[in-house]
Amino acid sequence: MDVGGPGVAVLSGQVRLPQLARTVNDLGLAYNLLFLEEPWVLKASPSNCSRALSELVRRIRTRDESSPTNDSTDVATKCFPEDSRRSWGFTSDSYNKVLQQVAAQESLRYSGFIGHSFGAVRLGYLRHISLDWSILTRPFPVGVDGRQIVNARARAIEGMQRRVTGHQGMPRALILAEAERRFDYLSALVEVGYTQTPAFTRRLARLDSDAQAAQRLAQQYWGIYGAGAVSPAYLAYLEEVCSAGKGWPYSYGRYNSVTSVLEAKHASCFLLKRKPAELIYGNEPRCIVTSSSDTVTPASLVAKSVLSRGRAIWVSSRERAHASFDQLDVCLKRLAGEKPAQ
């Protein structure tokens, strides 16, 4: 490809970039592809921050009626100091700056943007870059209240649970179990929604009796590794999600529903008090892919977002997994290439 040709800013949200690149290349589209690594990957984490984050997640997992307020405060002061020059995630300024620096160094002009999931927020960061087109697959519901997001996701997850297991909510066998066991089971239900492969859904039916499988999935969802360490990806998540949405719930009751785990995931937003992100969307032709079976960004939720305003092509996918790029090729043909055959 010509280095001086048009470029496409891509955020996949998953470690599946070769698949996305093949989708573009298989259509014969002559675009350079630019993938940006998130800042937390290269940012050194101070030991006091790592300890504070691990303690916060440990307290969240083991709590019942107690609130880990002090631990959230520790994370806020030790991981987000006011004199810090670098963020764990992107800001509108940092995102634009990186793209502009790459464009100048490589003599690129950005033609399009492909954003998966939270890529919808990153598209809203772009203020100084004009695009010919943009594509959002299974986008974050920009502008929707945090409580609405939690409730809609919980309903979608419980629907998936009912479809696979025949029941929803906390299994009877776990109602009296310790907090950690209930936390792991409910967190695992949330994690399954990201892939929803046949193997995962079959495993879902056995999670109430397979404590180790539930714990492994819960660790994936919370970014826990090793001897209780937590990936700083969670800090980047809090930093950007807390800013992208408002009204995130603050609740620390018993773990008795998926809602309680989703609330726990976002409860620190109440204490971090992140400045609301100013998101601006251009008028370029846009294609948006959603799925009614997606438990992370259900189609009904996206329809309530600011993304529903203005001119856009809406494409529906039957694939359940949030990680799926299904129908991306349709959007690419409509916006970046030839019209698909009818």
Provide DSSP, 48-67: HHHHHHHHHHHHHHH-SS--
- The per-residue pLDDT for 246 is 85
Two structure tokens written together for 39 = 């800042």
What does the pLDDT look like over 21-44, one tens digit per residue? 777 777 767 788 888 889 998 888
**Domains in the chain, number:** 2
DSSP, collapsed to helix, strand or coil, labels residue 116 as strand
Among 272, 294, 327, residue at a domain's last position: 272
Query: Quick check: 68 pLDDT over 70?
Result: no
Residue 263 resides in a domain: yes
Q: Give kind and range of the element (H or E) at residue 112.
A: strand 109-116
Residues 265 and 304 in one domain: no
Question: What domain range is 233 assigned to?
Answer: 47-83+146-272
Residues 302 and 204 in one domain: no
Q: How far apart are CA 281 and CA 271, in angstroms?
A: 29
Residues 256 and 164 in one domain: yes
In this prediction, residue 13 has a pLDDT band, given cuts at 50, 70 and 90, of very low
Of 12, 34, 323, 61, the closest CA to residue 195 belongs to 323
Among 253, 272, 291, residue at a domain's last position: 272
- The per-residue pLDDT for 196 is 75
Q: What is the CATH number of the domain that holds 104?
A: 3.40.50.1820
DSSP, collapsed to helix, strand or coil, labels residue 31 as coil
Among 225, 255, 272, residue at a domain's last position: 272
- The per-residue pLDDT for 81 is 80
Residues 67 and 152 in one domain: yes
Please give the full DSSP string across 118-180, using - where no structure is assigned: THHHHHHH-SS---SEEEEES---TT--HHHHHHHHHHHHHHHHHHHHS--SS-GGGTTS-HH
- The per-residue pLDDT for 12 is 39
What does the pLDDT look like over 239-250, one tens digit per residue? 999 999 888 887
Of 314, 319, 320, the closest CA to residue 295 belongs to 320
DSSP, collapsed to helix, strand or coil, labels residue 8 as strand
Cα–Cα distances in angstroms (integers) from residue 16 to residues 12, 22, 146, in the given order: 7, 10, 28
Residues 115 and 223 in one domain: no
Residue 340 resides in a domain: no
Q: Which residues contact 146 (CB under 8 A, 6 or more apart)?
A: 245, 246, 247, 248, 249, 266, 269
What does the pLDDT look like over 184-218, one tens digit per residue? 999 999 999 888 777 777 777 788 888 999 999 99
Residues 261 and 283 in one domain: no
What does the pLDDT look like over 80-126, one tens digit per residue? 887 666 689 999 999 999 999 999 999 989 999 999 999 999 999 99
- The per-residue pLDDT for 197 is 73
- Helices first, then strands: H and E counts in the chain: 14, 8
Residues 287 and 240 in one domain: no
Query: Quick check: 67 pLDDT over 80?
Result: no
